Structures are given as C-alpha cells and as structure tokens.
C-alpha cells in the first residue's frame, strides 16, 4: 500500500529481545536481532541499533524498551517493541530493487512517521519523527486508520 503525507496510520512491532551494547543519558545501543549483516555490500552496518531515550534526547522514536534504559547496562537483555500507536505519515518511499542498507533481507519501503501532535504538513522536522523500514527484517506493521 502506498501512503501519502498526512495519512494517519497505526504502527506496531511485536516484542523482540535484544542485548544491550551500551547506555548513556540520551541513547541506548543494542545488538539488533532483526536482520543479518550483509557483507556483500559497500555499506557497513555493524549489527547494532541506537534508540534515543530520556528527557535530554531531542529525537523521537515509537519504540518502547522494557525494562527502561535507566535500569540497563551493557550485556543486559531487554525487550523492544512498538505498541499499536496512531501516527501521521511524514514521508513514504518504495524501493525497487530493495534498498541496500547493509543488512539482509533489505527493505522494500520506508515510512517516516510523526506523532499527530508534532505533525506539520508544511515542515516535517527530522527530529520530530522516525523512519521505519518495511518489507525487510524488522517486523513492523503499518495499517491505515479506519475512522
């Protein structure tokens, strides 16, 4: 399905377990359990994913981490998910062929989502939303809002 700027969607992601690499006051870095490193590309993904957290981070993502990052340190295991969340589409793109980002399977689409209260059709700010990759390794689910 193709999405347009301003469309409202419900985004979710089933819980997955991830091992913590490091935690600081603004970000938690995890060994990402979704996808495998693709050594056949020029892009060098190291198998980790960084998620902002805490009041000192200006970035926003829909991910939830259990237990909270403040209770975690390197080597711990946590659960990462996106509970069903109503968001606005800030940008949508399809990739044919799938987009090479250094992991496999490669995504076939990307959707930039923004909380409704932060959405401004005139100006989509990079820190108010989050790009989610679809059709690849991450088990994101995006559904149109049916009001």
Tens of pLDDT, residue by residue over 29-60, are: 999 988 898 888 888 889 999 999 987 677 88
Residues 6 or more apart whose CB falls under 8 angstroms from that of 59 comprise 52, 127, 130
Is residue 90 a contact partner of residue 120, using CB atoms and an 8 Å limit? no
> Quick one: pLDDT at residue 66?
97
| pLDDT at residue 21 tops 80 | yes
pTM: 0.87
Domain ranges of the chain: 8-144
DSSP track, 116-142: GGG--TT---TTT-EEEEESSSS-EEE
Tens of pLDDT, residues 50-86: 999 987 677 889 999 999 999 999 999 999 999 999 9
- The pLDDT > 70 percentage for the chain reads 93
What's the mean pLDDT in 110-136? 81
All residues at 6 or more sequence positions from 39 whose CB lies less than 8 Å from its CB, including other chains = none
CB 49 within 8 A of CB 29: yes
CA–CA separation, 94 vs 62, rounded Å?
21
Q: How confident is the model at residue 137 (pLDDT cuts 50, 70, 90)?
A: confident
**Per-residue pLDDT tens over the stretch 106-119:** 999 999 999 988 77
Residue with tokens 């997955």: 16
Q: How far is CA 5 from the centre of its chain?
A: 18
Q: How confident is the model at residue 122 (pLDDT cuts 50, 70, 90)?
A: low
How many Cβ atoms are within 10 Å of 59's Cβ, its own excluded? 15
Measured CA to CA, the distance from residue 58 to residue 34 in angstroms comes to 25
- Asked if pLDDT for residue 124 goes beyond 80, the answer is no
The answer to whether residues 147 and 4 touch, using CB atoms and an 8 Å cutoff, is no
């Amino acid at each position: 399905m193709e999405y347009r700027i301003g469309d409202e969607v419900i985004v979710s992601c089933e819980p997955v377990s991830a091992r913590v690499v490091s935690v600081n006051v603004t970000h938690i870095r995890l060994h990402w359990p979704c996808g495998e490193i693709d050594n056949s590309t020029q892009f060098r993904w190291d198998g980790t994913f960084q998620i902002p957290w805490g009041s000192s981070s200006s970035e926003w993502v829909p991910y939830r981490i259990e237990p909270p990052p403040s209770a975690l340190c390197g080597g711990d295991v946590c659960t990462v998910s996106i509970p069903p969340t109503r968001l606005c589409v800030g940008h949508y793109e399809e990739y044919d062929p799938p987009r090479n980002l250094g992991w496999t399977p490669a995504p076939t689409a990307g959707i930039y989502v923004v909380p409704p209260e932060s959405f401004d059709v005139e100006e989509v700010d990079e820190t108010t939303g989050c790009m989610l990759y679809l059709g690849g390794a991450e088990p994101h689910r995006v559904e149109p809002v049916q009001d």
